[in-house]
Amino acid sequence: MKISHIDIFKYNIPLKAPIAISLGTIENARNLLVRIHADGLTGWGEGSPFWMIVGETQETGFAAAQDFARLLIGQNALDIEGNLNRLDAYLPNNPTIKSAFDMALYDLAAQAAGLPLYAFLGGNRFTLVTDETIYLNTPERMVTDAVRIQSQGGLAIKVKLGTNQRDDIRRVEAIREAVGDQIPIRTDANQGWNYVTARNVLKTIQDWNIEYCEQPVKHWNIADLKRLRQQTTVPLMADESLFNHRDALRLAQEEAVDYFNIKLSKSGGIFNAQKINAIAEAAGIPCMIGCMSESRLAITAKAHFASARRNVTFYDLDAPFEHAEDPVLGGVTYKGYEIEVPTRPGIGATCDETFLAGLENVTIR
């Protein structure tokens, strides 16, 4: 299967409202879409460059994608590892735009095999259940969101924190008071605390049915992650500390966290995500499949990956809830918080051509 040409789009999707976390705020999803053509088949991939986490922007990704495309023209689309190695050899890092190429290559390979992606990866189809995220705001506004999620049948609430000790404790306390004791709360500080603040917050909230705390301290601070794990009963999850399989190995060796958050836009795609999960599984560390601000196209690929790897036990795939438009055809379907994965060959998702016609794009032949 020879790659003939590749289309690259600035995949802009408006949000219903700005999204605020401790690292910053985004006004719109400024993603990237890649479409790879090979022997009459088309593979689709999407990356969401959350600049404050991955160090990429839509502009840098769009520029890099054009060079990447030139490297792949004429190559065998089924040589996934070889093609990804070409990208790594040319330009290190840049995991988000690489994840879009990775996704498109897997889409092509699964289509060529006549299998849905989950089956191509060796898995089986089952229903996933996502949480829903409450972004940073006043305690009162966050309570309103929590009550809504609970009333809609949500089975877990993810709460963004990471500002200061007093306000973050009040946020969790107010939400717990409003929704009762049964529904688990998943907290995420996005590196916003220092060690002392993290310790004090976690010790205060640890008896409030907190399922885990994601990335309480800076991504490089593995020593404090390990100390926090020893000093609180709240399980810890690595997110920004975990980009690739080398990070996974170090975190496992240090026994620094209880869980891993795998994001395709952060790991470079499915190929590397499988490596991270394999290390996690060997170390007895369950994983979550997470998201940035992807559309249902990339969310569908993530759902396929999660269906293929039973060590992935948490699902944070709520990004499309924040989007004001949905340009995706096919793909996963949401039934409340339940996610159904498509069964057609490949990822099973494409993008509406009318929507694409309004996007800045380039084709490399």
Residue 288 to residue 51: CA distance in whole angstroms: 21
Q: How many residues does the chain have?
A: 365
Query: What are the φ/ψ torsions at residue 316 (nearest 5 degrees)?
Result: -120, 80
Identify the active-site residue in 168, 239, 247, 316: 239
Identify the active-site residue in 188, 247, 294, 316: 188
Radius of gyration for the alpha carbons in the chain, expressed in angstroms and rounded: 20
* Among 334, 322, 325, CA closest to 135: 322
Identify the active-site residue in 131, 132, 214, 247: 214
What residue ranges in 161-305 does DSSP mark as E strands?
A: 185-188, 210-214, 236-238, 259-262, 287-289
Active-site annotation holds for 326: no
With contact defined as beta carbons under 8 Å apart, do 204 and 171 qualify? no
Active-site annotation holds for 316: no
Residue 295 to residue 15: CA distance in whole angstroms: 11
Active-site annotation holds for 258: no
Active-site annotation holds for 188: yes
Identify the active-site residue in 98, 158, 263, 302: 263
Residue 128: CA count within 13 A, CB half-sphere:
34
Amino acid letter, 183: I
Identify the active-site residue in 7, 98, 158, 160: 160
Active-site annotation holds for 281: no
Residue 363 to residue 285: CA distance in whole angstroms: 42
With contact defined as beta carbons under 8 Å apart, do 228 and 216 qualify? yes
Q: What is the maximal distance between C-alpha atoms in the chain?
A: 60
Active site residues: 160, 188, 214, 239, 263
